[in-house]
Amino acid sequence: MSLMWSLGLLCLLTGASYATEVCYDELGCFNDHPPWSGTDQRPVSALPWSPTELGTRFLLFTGKNSYYQEIKADQTIDISNYSGRYKTRFVIPGYLVKKDEDWPQEMCKAMVKKENGNCIAVEWKKGLKTKYAQAANNARLLAAQVASMITFLMGHYKQNADKFHLIGHSLGAHAAGEVGSRIPGLARITGLDPSEPYFQHTDNSVRLDTSDATFVDVIHTDALPFHSKLGLGMPESVGHIDFYPNGGELMPGCSANKGKPTELDAIWEGTSNFDACNHARAYQYYTESISESESFVGFPCSDQDSFAAGKCFPCADSQCPLMGHYADKFTVIDGISKTKYFLSTGRSKPFGRYSYKVTLTLEGPSWPNPGLMFVALTGGKVTTKEVQLHLGMLNPGRTYEMLLDANKYLREVTEVKFRWNNHILNPMKPKYGATKVELQRGKDGKMFLFCGTQTVKENEIQSVLPCQA
């Protein structure tokens, strides 16, 4: 592709010339005027590199090929497995985690295993692993390249814009938004922890926003302030619906980000010892959601503290969307939801959790003892991991309540397993048991009632079964 430079500024003092605009044939021209630079949010100016320097590749996955096919916007597309009958999803990375740089390909593999369709992993490693301001501006050219590919596919296969879904992580989320501004009517854009630096509080034309697609859903996982906590993701709600798993700031299994804002370039170039666990969780959650269609239920709530306290439990009138791949099944009544959605996840794979409220009435000796209580749920042949219900005094006749995040999906709960211990030698050998367990499912508020008929010794399992009518 030929390169044409439009020289807009001559620096006579140094004898050098600087381009304020660069043009790349059919991809168009790009300048470094506001709002792209020269603002408080974007202090460092940069122009996009050439397409050759970006090295962008489009890697097609379908149910017919176990390995990717590299495609181009020309007649060679006809020998690929691309099908104009199905939806097409583009997966656009925006931060490359060491040893996980090909996660878009893994997401596409999960996608075509679950559904008929085309999934295109966009690779632009050369244009991404550079100084941050440069990478942020390279994303503009990348967006033009993706838009050009979509335009070609629409023309070649007589497809409409509503057949395309873009999934972008970090800088890739804002690149997806720029694609949407170039191609009106895209079905959906999913922003996976959109980058904060150079995008937070900018003009809508610079960042992802709801005008970029018919439906925009966003997952926030690293949303602490960048300048004080080095959070790489933006806390601002920018979609039709925005999810904040675990509060959106610090993910279970991840440590707090360590470093200084001045190290941003080194972080992006991959030369610093930075752990991007929180930032990467967004695409990890989405990938898992593809195969786990019942997990990641988001609860509408004002803030994380209210959610953790159970004030937003259970879902009312089907007002809980699924975070991730199936978020578009949710209908936003007022067009743009003014509500944030919260949920809990696990520390490691599988991340998805299934929420219940447990209310347990304890039976035992007339005197209280210190101890711990645990419960697990069973449905058919599946039993969840045991969860601690209480730590403290065990008082017979008292009711104990907690929110339980089960690690496995149960279509119906058929049994509650109860256990207690205190690791204290007690010559009285007390026994405790659950006389009644009320279980409320989070996703729909359905109630399950169980009745216990026995007490058990320390560390024995009590099987609490459904109450008989």
Query: What would the pLDDT profile of 335-387 be if each residue is shown by its tens digit?
Result: 666 689 999 999 999 999 999 999 999 999 988 889 999 999 999 999 999 99
C-beta separation of 429 from 457 below 8 A: yes
Alpha-carbon separation of residue 219 from 28, 114, 348 (angstroms) = 31, 21, 18
- Supply the pTM of this predicted model: 0.94
Among 289, 300, 271, 309, CA closest to 98? 271
To the query of whether residue 2 is one of the catalytic residues in this protein, the response is: no
Distance (Å, rounded) from C-alpha 85 to C-alpha 416? 47
Two tokens at 97? 């985690």
Among 15, 24, 25, 26, CA closest to 47? 24
Residue 42 annotated as part of some ligand binding site? no
Q: Is residue 284 classed exposed, middle or buried when 0-12, 13-18 and 19+ CB atoms within 10 A define those classes?
A: buried
Q: Tell me whether strands 88-92 and 164-169 are parallel, antiparallel or unpaired.
A: parallel
| Residue type at 82 in one-letter notation | Y
pLDDT, residue 5, reads: 40
Kindly name the residue from 148, 170, 195, 295 that is annotated as catalytic.
Answer: 170
Q: Which residues pair with 17 in a beta bridge?
A: 10
Give the chain's end-to-end CA distance (angstroms, integer). 77
Residue showing tokens 């600087």: 18
pLDDT, residue 10, reads: 33
pLDDT, residue 229, reads: 95
The CB density around residue 156, as the number of other CB atoms within 10 Å, is 15
Kindly name the residue from 279, 289, 295, 337 that is annotated as catalytic.
Answer: 279
Kindly name the residue from 32, 193, 217, 222 that is annotated as catalytic.
Answer: 193
H helix or E strand, kind and range, residue 31:
strand 29-31
Name the DSSP letter for residue 325. T
Q: Which residues contact 463 (CB under 8 A, 6 or more apart)?
A: 415, 417
The answer to whether the bond into 34 is cis (omega within 30° of 0) is no
The answer to whether the bond into 245 is cis (omega within 30° of 0) is no
Two tokens at 405? 């995040």
C-beta separation of 139 from 149 below 8 A: no
pLDDT, residue 107, reads: 98
To the query of whether residue 279 is one of the catalytic residues in this protein, the response is: yes
Q: Which residues contact 67 (CB under 8 A, 6 or more apart)?
A: none
Residue 303 annotated as part of some ligand binding site? no
Name the DSSP letter for residue 377. E
To the query of whether residue 211 is one of the catalytic residues in this protein, the response is: no
User: Phi and psi at residue 282, in whole multiples of 5°?
Assistant: -60, -50
User: Phi and psi at residue 93, in whole multiples of 5°?
Assistant: -75, 165
Two tokens at 38? 């020269």
Query: What would the pLDDT profile of 169-201 be if each residue is shown by its tens digit?
Result: 999 999 999 999 999 999 999 999 999 999 999
Distance (Å, rounded) from C-alpha 42 to C-alpha 202? 8
Residue 207 annotated as part of some ligand binding site? yes
pLDDT, residue 451, reads: 97
Distance (Å, rounded) from C-alpha 305 to C-alpha 246? 10
Query: What would the pLDDT profile of 81-118 be if each residue is shown by its tens digit?
Result: 999 999 999 999 999 998 899 999 999 999 999 999 99
Q: What residues of the chain score a pLDDT lower than 70?
A: 1-19, 333-338
Among 347, 243, 355, CA closest to 304? 243
Two tokens at 145? 């390249």
